[in-house]
Amino acid sequence: MNKPIALYNGTIYTNYDVLFGQSILIKDGLIEDIVDANTIPDQYEKYDLKGATICPGLIDLQIYGTGSDLYSADLTSECIQRIENNLLKQGCTTFYLTLATNSIALFKEAISIFKSSTRRSAAGLHLEGPFLNEKKRGAHPADLVIPIAVPVLVDLLSEADDVVKIMTVAPELANIASLDYLKEKNILVSAGHSNATFEQATAAFDAGIPAVTHLWNAMSPLHHRDMGVPGATFNHDTVCASIIVDGIHVDYDAVKLSKKMMGERLFLITDAVASCSTSVYQHILNGDHYILPDGTLSGSALSLLMAIENCVKNVNMDIGEAIRMATLYPARLMKLQDVGQLKKGFRANITAFDHDFNVKAVFLDGEKVV
């Protein structure tokens, strides 16, 4: 068993509290306590973080791959492990590996391989499609977008056990029976790639859809005669929404407006993809984002820490709030009880970064992995 350690000499962002001169005690993979740095017990090995910002490990609910590893194009446990390792280097300790619209057969193969893989930080799968609105399909192939129906869902999820955790669907095309089936499977339904009217989106939220996928992107627009999905999202009391803060998918001023309207209901995702030329999705790195061969925007090149940095530097957001958008709020939506906060009894998933937003250390279940 690893020797207990104490992290000290940094500014600690627990959830809503900012702590100075404190130390995080880690034992058996959990946060044992947070104490005055001058009172660290002798049995703890001290780890000096040299003035870094210390926060919960970052949580990404929508990411397809990293570097040149796109899971849908390389359905292997080795690919999952490489993605995990790369994300840990970026400070992301919990993520939901995402697959965009594809064939049901490929989805089922991806589910099977994910189930059999040894995973440390991949918490589940997010299926973005294929039950989308073709009018708002974005980079998703039109010939693979299909109507949602219970028999299709039963086939898709027949051997999924509980690894599929999130599914993005167009709510205006979804029937109650299908949504009820997904709820029975404990799959969080997120409204996305949708051409819903304000009334349709509001009705879907009132009926229990709790989230919206990448606010502003691939959805009906905000218009003064029909406020569409963005307006319904702003106007609702409980629905949450992810947003891609790279300055490309969404203008920074639109992020400011969204944050002002939604407060803690808005959270960060990367929507990051990987360079690929061997599958349905031909992602080409175009500077700081990815496009398809025809120029269609197909994904970001963000890390969550970069998104936090953009929130601070370009949206003029308090760093503590930006951190919560990548930790506390996604954990709350997914009902994760042991991550997303630095709190006694929680898993010791911790990220530390410097003033230039460079990762300095990452701990996963109390083990230093970066």
Confidence of residue 227 (pLDDT cuts 50, 70, 90): very high
Give the tens place of pLDDT for each residue, 175-216: 999 999 999 999 999 999 999 999 999 999 999 999 999 999
pLDDT tens sequence across 299-341: 999 999 999 999 999 999 999 999 999 999 999 999 999 999 9
What is the pLDDT at residue 1?
Answer: 54
Give DSSP secondary structure letters for 187-237. PEEEE-SB---HHHHHHHHHTT--EESSTTTTB----SS--HHHHHHHH-S
pLDDT at 7 over 80: yes
Chain centroid, CA 42 distance in Å: 38
**Average pLDDT score over residue span 9-15:** 97
Residues constituting the chain: 370
Q: What is the pLDDT of residue 186?
A: 97
What SS3 state is found at 161? coil
Mean pLDDT of 104-120: 97
Per-residue pLDDT band at 346 (split at 50, 70, 90): very high
354 flagged as catalytic: no
* Per-residue tokens: 271: 């929507």
308 neighbors 172 (Cβ within 8 angstroms)? no
Sheet holding 284-285, edge to edge: 284-285, 289-291, 297-300
Banded pLDDT at 67 (limits 50, 70, 90): confident
pLDDT at 239 over 60: yes
Q: Which of 60, 74, 246, 271 is catalytic?
A: 271
> What is the pLDDT at residue 149?
97
Domains of the chain: 5-56+340-368 (2.30.40.10), 58-333 (3.20.20.140)
Distance, in Å, from the CA atom of 245 to the CA atom of 308, rounded to the nearest integer, reads 8
Buried residues in 168-187 as b, exposed as e (16+ CB within 10 A): bbbbbbbeeebbebbeebeb
Q: What is the mean pLDDT of residues 24-31?
A: 98
pLDDT band at 2 (very low <50, low <70, confident <90, very high): confident
Q: Which of 1-15, 163-177, 324-338 has the lowest mean pLDDT?
A: 1-15
- pLDDT (0 to 100) of residue 29: 97
With 90 as the cut, is the pLDDT of residue 78 above it? yes
Mean local confidence (pLDDT), 94-102 = 97
User: How confident is the model over 126-143, as a mean pLDDT?
Assistant: 95
